[in-house]
Amino acid sequence: TALTLIKDYDNYTFHHSVNVAVISIAVGRACGLEEAQMRTLGLGGLLHDLGKLKIDVGIINKPGRLTLEEFEKIKKHPVHGAGIVEQMEGVSREVIDIVIGHHLHYNRQGYPDDLAGRPLSPLTDMAAIADSYDAMTTMRSYRRPVSPRQAMREMKATSGILLHPEYLAHFLKYLGPYPVGTVVRLSQGETALVTKADTEGRCELRLKILFNKEGKKLDREHFVELSAGESERIVGEVDPFLAGIDLGSLL
């Protein structure tokens, strides 16, 4: 299957594809899509980077800056992917649009260059939001991740340019002020990880306490529930990278 091919190709690309599928569905839900549309959106997210199989994995995982020639090869992966997906039985035009158009940007100034005038499914812009969010919040060979809240700020700055403003606004509201994966400081001095966040804007959170107020790591798991009126107990955000916290092992 396509997913097996991706997994055999590169571990990051596999996990990124699964993450984008899940996040795409969240974007679709935030935008009020029906179940059938969300399934299509999720499939597009799962297959969006399939074209990378045609590119040397050494380029994909290069720790330094890409050469112009290498970047030109990277820019071909949406077209490669669309070519593969078009040969699959029962795949809709909307999925193909996601695969070929997820780097085109809202202003249609991205790549592939020759797609600028082509109409694409609205699902393409939703998948692009999911792709951006996961790429920002995941460790790569060439850069460290940003926190979920920082990703939200950076994405908001590109609203109406790189990302669809209406879809993005719905998604950011859906995430809430403290998305899952955010590390926070509590008023009593503890450091905690947001493991569950209400998606209806009520700011109800489930936190996993990582360090007590003395900065000592807890020996056993301890969770705290914050209701809508208790979010003021959060007094700040903690950079997990600077704090030496491996989010990958906690989420």
* Nearby residues of 200 by Cβ (< 8 Å), 6 or more positions away: none
pLDDT-based confidence at residue 117 (cuts at 50, 70, 90): confident
What residues does each domain of the chain span? 2-175, 183-249
Give the DSSP per-residue string, 155-196: HHHTBTTTB-HHHHHHHHHHH-SS-TT-EEEETTS-EEEEEE
31 SS3 class: coil
Residue that the structure tokens 């997906």 belong to? 85
- In the DSSP assignment, the letter for residue 87 is T
- pLDDT tens for 118-155 read 899 999 999 999 999 999 998 776 778 888 999 999 99
Q: Architecture of domain 2-175 in CATH? A: Orthogonal Bundle (1.10)
Note whether 18 and 129 are within 8 A (CB). Answer: no
- In the DSSP assignment, the letter for residue 67 is P
Q: Is the entire prediction scored with pTM above 0.85? A: yes
- pLDDT tens for 58-100 read 999 998 889 999 999 999 999 999 999 999 999 999 999 999 9
